[in-house]
Amino acid sequence: MTEKVALTPATHTTPPAKFSHGVRKGNILQVAGQVGFRPAVEGEPATVAGPTLREQTLQTFANVKAILEEGGASWDDVMMMRVYLTDVSHFAEMNEIYNAYFEDQALKAPASARTTVYVGLPKGVLIEIDALAVLDN
């Protein structure tokens, strides 16, 4: 049986509850929902990257990518992403940011599947993203 391994990159603090930022078991890697918090400084409260959807989305991508890399994965390994937005009016802007970001990543594999839903998040947080990756090894 393959061991389940918790993933916490150096950029992340210990989660505030009993969960892992990411978990890998065998060739499956699940990234927990990430928001646009700046890289962690242990002992200090997390702060949001900025008030705009662009700032928060780009930081959220960086946070997801850090967990993927900690588990030996890349964006090319991602099969499914879920994007959680707090405001329906942000959908078009988020798509523009999303498309530009992944163009810059120079993916070698087809883009992942994606679902976007609208939710309530803590005050000031505009977006959350989780990802499921399947690795070759």
Q: What is the CATH number of the domain that holds 55?
A: 3.30.1330.40
pLDDT for 89: 97
What local confidence, expressed as pLDDT, does residue 14 receive?
81
Say whether pLDDT at 129 is over 80: yes
At 56, which helix (H) or strand (E)? helix 53-70
Instruction: Identify the pLDDT of residue 113.
Output: 97
Tokens of 2: 């393959």
Instruction: Using DSSP, state whether 123 is helix, strand or coil.
Output: coil
Q: Which of 128, 101, 122 is nearest to 112 (CA)?
A: 101
Which residues touch 116 (CB under 8 Å, ≥6 apart)?
A: 82, 83, 84, 85, 91, 94
pLDDT of residue 44: 75
| Alpha-carbon span 59 to 23, nearest angstrom | 20
d(CA 58, CA 40): 16
Residue 49: which domain range? 4-134
pLDDT in tens, 72-126: 999 999 999 999 999 999 999 999 999 999 999 999 999 999 999 999 999 999 9
Whole-model pTM? Answer: 0.94
Look at the chain and report how many structural domains it folds into: 1
| pLDDT of amino acid 1 | 64
pLDDT for the residue numbered 78? 98
Cα separation, 60 vs 130, in Å, equals: 9
In tens, the pLDDT along 13-54 reads 888 889 999 999 999 999 999 999 998 776 777 788 999 999
Average pLDDT over residues 43-70: 93
For residues 55 and 38, what is the distance between their CA atoms, to the nearest angstrom?
A: 10
